[in-house]
């Protein structure tokens, strides 16, 4: 009883800052109807473009897509001139973080959500839950907070929160009851606790995603229905040449010890089972390697985060430079290995979802996606395939794994109006995704001008 009263109180306290949030950065424009007039549509149902088209949005849905001359635009519709521009489904950051803890600063929450939108991201999947995020999800859904659709992972299941089968069962039941969209797995879950989690999750109808605990292993994880495996976690345990380990070999040698046959067996089974991979290559390059912090922090996106955050990145990178086990050679060998793993994964037909794990090490929310994308291409994904991983594949994931409305991720009549307007053709160069001229999520509109204004305001907050 007390817990429930406290929960209500927390929700009430939370609602006050939510309304304050509305004054800091540009907010959604809400129109009954929107028309993107005379735009080139990239529908993402197949690899094609539809020049000279008009897309009509009513409420949160697309209601017409056709050659401009054939689409009647009712009076009072908000018109967005599309000539010379491209309209595609909004992108997703499927390994996102919003500020952690139960009571983060509201400006920071607002900023993260804005940075995602400013980079064309209309869907995020939160990978470390806290109760406030359930309220945030609903506030976004209701249009009270400007942000991408938010699918909320539960607080982590790991060796501390789920050390026994009974603990695992209790966590699954409480997280499902609280209304989280899926379970987030971290390392440390023992095998017996995992197996109980699987049973109870099946019973209550919730899926699980994230890391592969070492005691479980990727083979058991995929055979027991893990929905998404993030960071290519668990691969090394089963793809490395047997007998090569950090105890007997130096790190670069360990990274070069992928056994092609074992890798092939793994990716073949992952493809058969359709287990989504969220590679997060850009982050992992930094987690198991190092870079020159000065040149990294000189990249334009770092103007949108605080000096403290930049310093924390610098310190984390320095710890890697100071670690004798991480050398320039091992950094390169590790990168090459991860690219090889992703190349094999994609070539085998394993489904891939777009994600970065922002704001971990050097990953600025939203902008990190544009650092991840070249690595996806380098591993053999075409621009169209990269876009699939951030659009219609996300709709399929939401429908099939989360059991929710997955009618988004293509530009077609009846789909949810999650759209991204850009000034160049991303099928020719994915760099075009960086010139955002506006986004809609569920038909709510944020113009390119509003995006530039918001980014300027965030930059001004952090100017040193």
Angle, nearest 10°, between helix axes 191-204 and 165-178?
30
Report d(CA 85, CA 79) in Å as an integer. Answer: 14
The helix (H) or strand (E) run that includes residue 93 is: strand 91-96
Q: Which stretch binds Zn ion (CB under 5 A): 19-27, 104-112, 123-131, 404-412?
A: 123-131
Residue 238 Cβ vs Zn ion, minimum distance, rounded to whole Å: 22
- Please tell me whether residue 357 binds Zn ion under the rule CB under 5 A: yes
Q: Output 127 or 420, the one with its CB closest to Zn ion.
A: 127
- Please tell me whether residue 388 binds Zn ion under the rule CB under 5 A: no
- Please tell me whether residue 94 binds Zn ion under the rule CB under 5 A: no
Residue 7 Cβ vs Zn ion, minimum distance, rounded to whole Å: 26
Using DSSP's 3-state secondary structure scheme, residue 262 falls into helix
Residue 98 Cβ vs Zn ion, minimum distance, rounded to whole Å: 11
Q: Output 86 or 362, the one with its CB closest to Zn ion.
A: 362
- Please tell me whether residue 98 binds Zn ion under the rule CB under 5 A: no
- Please tell me whether residue 93 binds Zn ion under the rule CB under 5 A: no
Q: Output 95 or 444, the one with its CB closest to Zn ion.
A: 95
Report d(CA 374, CA 84) in Å as an integer. Answer: 25
Closest residue by Cα to residue 62 from 448, 404, 446, 408: 408
Q: Which residues of 174-191 are buried (b: 16+ CB within 10 A; e: fewer)?
A: ebbeeebbbbbbbebbbe
Residue 440 Cβ vs Zn ion, minimum distance, rounded to whole Å: 27
Contact 263, 237 (CB under 8 A): no
Residues in the chain: 464
Using DSSP's 3-state secondary structure scheme, residue 82 falls into coil
Q: Output 37 or 185, the one with its CB closest to Zn ion.
A: 185
**Dihedral (C-alpha) 360, 363, 365, 368: value to the nearest 10 degrees?**
-140
Q: Output 280 or 317, the one with its CB closest to Zn ion.
A: 280
Which token pair is 156? Answer: 């982590």
Q: Tokens 């007039």, residue? A: 37
Closest residue by Cα to residue 149 from 96, 83, 222, 223: 96
Q: Which stretch binds Zn ion (CB under 5 A): 33-41, 131-139, 238-246, 356-364?
A: 356-364
Q: Output 127 or 145, the one with its CB closest to Zn ion.
A: 127
- Please tell me whether residue 92 binds Zn ion under the rule CB under 5 A: no
Q: Which residues of 377-395 are buried (b: 16+ CB within 10 A; e: fewer)?
A: eebebebeebbbbbbbbbb
Q: Output 126 or 448, the one with its CB closest to Zn ion.
A: 126
Report d(CA 441, CA 430) in Å as an integer. Answer: 21
> Residues in contact with Zn ion, total (CB under 5 A)?
2
Q: Which stretch binds Zn ion (CB under 5 A): 125-133, 143-151, 185-193, 423-431?
A: 125-133
- Please tell me whether residue 127 binds Zn ion under the rule CB under 5 A: yes
Report d(CA 421, CA 411) in Å as an integer. Answer: 12
Residue 357 Cβ vs Zn ion, minimum distance, rounded to whole Å: 4
Residue 231 Cβ vs Zn ion, minimum distance, rounded to whole Å: 8
Q: Which stretch binds Zn ion (CB under 5 A): 122-130, 136-144, 159-167, 309-317?
A: 122-130
Residue 128 Cβ vs Zn ion, minimum distance, rounded to whole Å: 6
Residues at the site binding Zn ion, with contacts judged by CB under 5 A: 127, 357
């Amino acid at each position: 009883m007390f817990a429930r009263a406290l929960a209500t109180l927390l929700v009430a306290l939370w609602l006050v800052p939510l309304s304050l949030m509305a004054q800091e950065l540009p907010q959604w424009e809400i129109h009954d109807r929107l028309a993107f007039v005379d735009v080139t549509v990239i529908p993402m149902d197949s690899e094609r473009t539809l020049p000279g088209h008009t897309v009509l949005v009513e409420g949160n849905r697309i209601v017409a897509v056709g050659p401009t001359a054939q689409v009647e635009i009712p009076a009072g519709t908000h018109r967005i001139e599309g000539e010379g521009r491209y309209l595609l489904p909004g992108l997703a950051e499927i390994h996102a973080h919003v500020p952690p803890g139960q009571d983060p600063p509201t400006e920071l929450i607002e900023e993260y959500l804005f940075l995602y939108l400013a980079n064309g991201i209309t869907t995020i999947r939160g990978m470390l839950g806290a109760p406030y995020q359930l309220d945030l999800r609903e506030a976004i859904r209701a249009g009270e907070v400007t942000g991408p659709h938010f699918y909320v992972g539960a607080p982590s299941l790991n060796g501390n929160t789920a050390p026994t089968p009974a603990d695992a069962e209790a966590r699954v039941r409480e997280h499902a009851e609280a209304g989280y969209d899926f379970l987030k797995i971290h390392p440390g879950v023992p095998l017996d606790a995992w197996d109980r989690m699987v049973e109870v999750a099946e019973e209550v109808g919730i899926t699980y995603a994230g890391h592969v605990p070492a005691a479980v292993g990727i083979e058991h994880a995929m055979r027991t229905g893990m929905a998404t495996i993030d960071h290519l976690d668990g691969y090394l345990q089963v793809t490395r040449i047997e007998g090569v380990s950090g105890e007997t070999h130096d790190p670069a040698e360990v990274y070069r010890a992928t056994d092609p046959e074992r890798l092939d067996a793994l990716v073949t089974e992952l493809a058969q089972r359709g287990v989504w991979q969220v590679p997060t290559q850009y982050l992992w390059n930094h987690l198991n390697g190092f870079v020159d912090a000065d040149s990294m922090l000189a990249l334009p996106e770092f103007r949108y985060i605080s000096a403290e955050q930049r310093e924390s990145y610098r310190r984390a990178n320095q710890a890697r430079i100071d670690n004798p086990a991480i050398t320039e050679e091992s950094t390169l060998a590790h990168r090459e290995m991860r690219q090889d793993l992703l190349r094999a994964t994609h070539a085998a037909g394993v489904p891939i979802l777009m994600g970065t794990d922002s704001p971990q090490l050097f990953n600025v929310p939203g902008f990190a996606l544009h650092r991840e994308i070249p690595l996806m291409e380098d591993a053999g994904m075409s621009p169209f395939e990269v876009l699939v991983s951030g659009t219609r594949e996300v709709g399929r994931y939401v429908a099939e794994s989360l059991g929710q409305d997955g009618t988004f991720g293509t530009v077609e009549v009846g789909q949810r109006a999650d759209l991204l307007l850009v000034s160049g053709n991303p099928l020719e160069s994915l760099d075009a995704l960086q010139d955002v001229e506006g986004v809609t999520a569920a038909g709510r509109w944020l113009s390119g001008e509003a995006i530039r204004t918001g980014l300027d305001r965030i930059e001004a907050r952090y100017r040193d």
